[in-house]
Structure 1
Amino acid sequence: MSFIQYPIVFVPILKDRIWGGTKLNTVLGKEIHSDQVGESWEVSGVTDNVSIVANGTYKGCDLEELINQYPEELLGSYIYNRFGKQFPLLFKFLDAKEDLSIQLHPNDELAMKRHQSLGKTEMWYVMQADPGARVVVDFKDGVHQEDYMKHLENKTLPSILNEILVEKGDVFFIETGTVHAIGGGVLLAEIQQTSDITYRVYDWDRVDAEGNSRELHVDLAKDAINYEPKQVELVYEKKENVANSIVECPYFSVNYIPLKEVYHLKKAIDRFHFYVCTEGDCTFVINQDKYEFSKGDSILIPAAIAEFSIEGKATLLEIFVS
């Protein structure tokens, strides 16, 4: 049976978190099941968290089924040759009502050795931030392992970390080994490698309703931390109706599209594209068929679709593997 070409949307995989809130509903329109929903996984090939198609011909199929049946049509030959049948990206929305733990992710080599997994390089795009909201990214200048261990033991780790006030549209690139935390009051979109490996090193001494603290991974984190200063906050252009590059790295590329009229794209059929509507409403026009999307929607354009356009007034993130 030949592959049916259309933009694919997946059922959000919602995750309750101790730090979660309700903005995934109030800001993005997700149908949440509690007042502590911290994450919406919009597309995932992570084992035990594989996305299910929500629309069209393949509604009800999971991402693994589709890739198994149509690897080159869905992923593209470049992606298939590089990653096999593993979907290489994980995309989420995160709502931090409270501070997330201070954490980091191992690189590919360490993650494979310890967990048979990829590492976790990620990028954040801030969609909404309460007044005074901030993120914690990397150490202040001149911090070494001895400083880190001393402050960790004394429960003063936040004092040597770099806190940055944020607002809508801010972007942060989090390389593996970078200590980080999303602060309370921040709603963001996160693009990352397909990995769920996180080392939590400090959790603000909080406990759950039963008085239990969450597991820390201090020993695992020791060899995974990168103490070198990094460029974490990214500046990017915002030219209308074109793709403005935000980040290019070995794992993903992300463009910013401020759409006022129409955006045309002729893409290679050797890789898929993924779009996130962060504001407004838009229409994807593919082979004269029209598909309408709005703020909070995440859309997979299969590799087999070579040409299409997007119309409307919206802002979008365009994501692909370069």
Structure 2
Amino acid sequence: MTIKPYPLQFKAEMKERIWGGRALEQFGLELPPGVIGEGWMIGDHPNGITSVMNGPLSGKGLDEIREGFGKEWFGENGYKENGRFPLLIKLLDCNDDLSIQVHPTDSYEGLPPGELGKTEMWYVLDAKPGAKIIYGLKDGIDRGAMEEAIREGRVMDTMQEVPVEAGDAFYIPAGTVHALCSGVLVAEIQQNSDTTYRLFDYNRPGLDGKLRELHIEDSLNVIAYEGAGAARMKTDGVKPGEWLTIASSPYFIVEKGVVEGSLKLSTATDSCVILVIAEGEGSLNWEGGSQTVKAGECFLLPATLGAYELDGSMTVLRSVIPSPTA
């Protein structure tokens, strides 16, 4: 059976987290009971595989799509023989502070078997007045200073706090100490990894009533004390029809675009395209099809889709997978 390429929309995998809430319901997403911190919108990971919910491939998991259509749909940059889809796309509802954490690089010897490192980026969809995040270490904090702060129970004294507003973008390379704090709603584009090392968790119990595990030694090992290239950006100057690169890494390139009316675009054969509708609504049109889109929805456009059009009034995040040598 031949299936023409079309934009794939997936049923989100919802994850209960101690710091979550119910804010993802505002996007029309179906939430199970409990405090939901993460919606895995596009995932191909043992801890969450999303399934297509539109078109002729409805019901198929992203892993099945990968196996069935391979390089043709994912592009040579997005397809790896016997490997998972390289990115994981999430929406995060931070109703409470997340743990202070750090992620390893791909080369860290302590990685769980089969797992990757984790470089990621955040785009702030919404932020309550006074919202902040933890983003990197204060100047002069080395491993010795961090170990001393941990022994003395003053880890928070080593951290930089940064105020955030809707529209802020943060690039978080592996090795960067970070934490989202209460009152923010975030779109996250990241390496396809579920490895997080907790450095500090406010001495609070988890969902099971017990203190959550910390990973002190791993955290100390993987922190980039001299910095890993983290970068932040205000993005509110994007004009309709323009695209602003808000994160660029070996794993993903993310751009922010503003659509007012019709915007004609095209995929390239080297990578599929991921669209996250950050604000507004409209339609996504391609040869042989059209679909209404709105804030909170995510789509995977096969590399061979070719020409497509965004029409309406909306803010869009567009992600591609760069060449390994880019």
So what's the TM-score if we normalise by structure 1? 0.95
Cα 1:303/1:85, change in 2 over 3 Å: farther
Counterpart amino acid of 1:258? V
Match of 1:198 in 2: 196
Within 2, Cα distance between the matches of 1:77 and 1:231? Answer: 27
1:10 corresponds to 2:3: no
> Does the 8 A contact of 1:68 with 1:85 survive in 2?
no
Match of 1:233 in 2: 232
Aligned residues: 320
Cα 1:205/1:48, change in 2 over 3 Å: closer
> Does the 8 A contact of 1:111 with 1:197 survive in 2?
no
| Alpha-carbon shift at residue 207 of structure 1 (Å) | 1.1
Match of 1:118 in 2: 116
Where do 1:83-122 residues align within 5 Å?
84-110=82-108, 114-122=112-120
Spell out, residue by residue over 1:173-195, the C-alpha distance to the aligned partner (whole angstroms, 9 max, x if none): 11101111000111100000001
Match of 2:308 in 1: 308
**RMSD of Structure 2 on Structure 1 (CA):** 1.6
Cα 1:105/1:307, change in 2 over 3 Å: same
Counterpart amino acid of 2:269? I
| Alpha-carbon shift at residue 240 of structure 1 (Å) | 1.1
Cα 1:47/1:211, change in 2 over 3 Å: closer
> Structure 1: which 5+ runs fail to align?
none
Counterpart amino acid of 2:52? V
> Does the 8 A contact of 1:67 with 1:85 survive in 2?
no
SS of alignment partner, residue 78 of structure 2 = helix
Spell out, residue by residue over 1:72-124, the C-alpha distance to the aligned partner (whole angstroms, 9 max, x if none): 232123332x5654201000000111100000100010167553321100000
Match of 1:158 in 2: 156
Match of 2:289 in 1: 289
Match of 1:41 in 2: 40
Within 2, Cα distance between the matches of 1:157 and 1:98? Answer: 19
SS of alignment partner, residue 151 of structure 1 = helix
Within 1, Cα distance between the matches of 2:224 and 2:295? Answer: 36
| Alpha-carbon shift at residue 34 of structure 1 (Å) | 2.4
Match of 1:135 in 2: 133
Counterpart amino acid of 2:71? E
SS of alignment partner, residue 264 of structure 2 = strand
> Does the 8 A contact of 1:50 with 1:63 survive in 2?
yes
Match of 1:60 in 2: 59
The worse-fitting range, judged by mean Cα deviation, of 213-222 and 202-211 is 202-211
Counterpart amino acid of 1:139? L
Spell out, residue by residue over 1:209-253, the C-alpha distance to the aligned partner (whole angstroms, 9 max, x if none): 654100011112221111114443124451212322112211000
SS of alignment partner, residue 11 of structure 2 = coil
| Alpha-carbon shift at residue 288 of structure 1 (Å) | 4.8
Within 2, Cα distance between the matches of 1:210 and 1:8? Answer: 36
Within 2, Cα distance between the matches of 1:307 and 1:7? Answer: 12
> Structure 2: which 5+ runs fail to align?
none
Within 2, Cα distance between the matches of 1:116 and 1:290? Answer: 38
| Residue of 139, 161, 180 corresponding to 2:178 | 180
Percent of residue pairs bearing the same amino acid type: 34
Counterpart amino acid of 2:238? K
SS of alignment partner, residue 110 of structure 1 = coil
Cα 1:183/1:83, change in 2 over 3 Å: farther
| Alpha-carbon shift at residue 133 of structure 1 (Å) | 1.0
Match of 1:255 in 2: 255
Match of 1:167 in 2: 165
